[in-house]
Structure 1
Amino acid sequence: MEFISVYSKEQYEYIKESREVLFEFCKTISPEDFVNQNSSFGRGGSIRNLLVHITNTYQYWIANLALKKNVIYSEYENFKTIQDVIILFTTVDDFMFEFISKMDYFGDEISYKIQNVKHSTKPIRLFSHVITHEYHHKGQILSLSRHLGYIPVDTDIMR
C-alpha cells in the first residue's frame, strides 16, 4: 500500500493550488471585510476566522493527534491580514507533508483519544477528513464574500 503517500501528496498539491486561488481572491477583500464577523456563519463568522479555524482543524487532527506534536491552536485575533493567514498555512503544509510521508508507515490504524475515549482510524480517513473540512469552510468563505458584496472566484480543483 505504499502508493497511498504518493497519491495523497499529489492530491494535497491540488488542494494547495486551489487554496492559492482563494488566497489571491482574499487579497482583493478589504481589511475591514476580511475580519468582519457575520453571525450567520459559524466559527466566528469572518473570512479570517474561518481560515484560521481550517488551520486549527489541521493542527488538531494531523499535527497533534496523528503526529503527536504539541501544536498550540491559533487564535483568530493573532492574524490581522490575509498575508498573516497565508504564513500560518505554510506551517500546516509542513506537517501535512510530514504526515503524508508517514502514511504508508502508520500501519492500518492511528490511535487517539478524545475526551478520554480511545478511538482509531485509518490515516487516509484523517487525510480525507481535514481536506473535506477545508472545502466545506472554503464554500462558506465564498458565500460570506458574496454577502459582503464581492463576486466569488471558482476555487474548484477542476476549473
Structure 2
Amino acid sequence: MLKQQYDFVLSSRNTLLTYIESVSKEDFLTDNSSFGRGSIKNLLVHICQTYCAWIGERALGIEQIFLPLETYQTFQECQTYFNQVDEYIGLFTEKFKGNELHEMELDRNGSILTVNPLQLFTHVITHEFHHKGQIMSLSRHLGYTPVDADIIR
C-alpha cells in the first residue's frame, strides 16, 4: 500500500518539479523570509533532508551527511537529491511491506520515539505537501501562476 501511495506523491511531485523548471534561476534562488526556508531551492532541499533523516537515517539506519543549503545551487542538484529520496522510499516500502503497523523505536535527537512505518511514511509525505504549498505561494509572490499539483487534479 505504501508503494501505491508514494506513486501518487511522485505524480504530484513531478508536476511540481516540471513547473519549477520554468522558474528563472534567479527566482529559484531568491530568498523570501516569509516562507520558512527562504527560497524555492531551500524548500526543495529541506524536503529531501527530511526524507533522508526520517526514512534513510532513522528507519533504514543509513548514515547521512547533511550538507548546508548553500551547497545546492541548481535545480538539477535538487532533482538528484530527490532521486536519492526515491531510492530510500523504495528500500523502506520493501522492508516494511506487510508490517506497516508494526511499532518500532527510533532515536530522535537522543529521545526514543515509538512509531509505526505508516505513521513515519505519513509524516514525511505530509511534510512534503506542506512545503509544496509554500513553494507554490512563494512562486506566486515572484509573479508566476502555480500549476495544480494536487494528488487528484
TM-score range, shorter chain: over 0.9
In structure 2, distance between residues paired with 1:27 and 1:76: 19
Look up the equivalent residue of 1:152 and give its one-letter code.
Answer: P
* Alpha carbons 2:100, 2:117 under 8 Å: kept: yes
The 4+ residue runs of structure 1 with deviation greater than 2 A are 104-107
TM-score w.r.t. the length of structure 1 is 0.91
Q: Which residue of 2 aligns with 1:3?
A: none
CA contact under 8 A between 1:56 and 1:74: conserved in structure 2?
A: no
Q: Aligned Cα RMSD in Å?
A: 1.3
State yes or no: 1:65 paired with 2:58. yes
CA contact (8 A) 2:8 2:151 kept: yes
- For structure 2, the residue ranges without an aligned partner over 5 or more in a row are none
| Contact 1:36–1:46, Cα closer than 8 Å, also in 2 | yes
Whichever residue aligns with residue 53 of structure 1, its letter is: H
Q: How does 1:2-151 map to 2 (within 5 A)?
A: 7-43=1-37, 45-103=38-96, 104-105=98-99, 108-151=102-145
1:137 to partner: Cα distance: 0.2
- Alignment check: 8 A CA contact 1:52 1:75 kept: no
The one-letter code matched in structure 2 to 1:11 is Q
- TM-superposed CA distance for 1:118, in Å, is 1.6
Question: Residue type of the partner of 2:118?
Answer: I
For the 8 Å contact 1:63–1:95, the answer to whether it is kept is yes
Give me the whole-angstrom Cα distance separating, in 1, the residues matched to 2:7 and 2:139: 25
How many Å separate the matches in 2 of 1:100 and 1:146? 35
Question: Which runs of no fewer than 5 residues in structure 1 stay unpaired?
Answer: 1-6
For residues 118 and 56 of structure 2, the distance between their equivalents in structure 1, rounded to whole angstroms, comes to: 15
Greater Cα offset, 105-114 or 59-68: 105-114
Which amino acid is 1:17 matched to? S
What's the TM-score, normalizing by structure 2? 0.94
Alpha-carbon deviation of 1:107? 7.0
2 CA distance for matches of 1:100 and 1:35? Answer: 33
CA contact (8 A) 1:36 1:47 kept: yes
Tell me if structure 1 keeps the 8 A contact 2:101–2:118.
no
Provide the C-alpha distance between the structure 2 equivalents of 1:132 and 1:79, rounded to a whole number of angstroms: 23
Equivalent residue letter for 2:18: E
Partner amino acid, structure 1, of 2:42: N
Alignment partner of 1:58: what SS? helix
Instruction: Give 1:23 shift.
Output: 0.6
Identity, in percent, stands at: 46
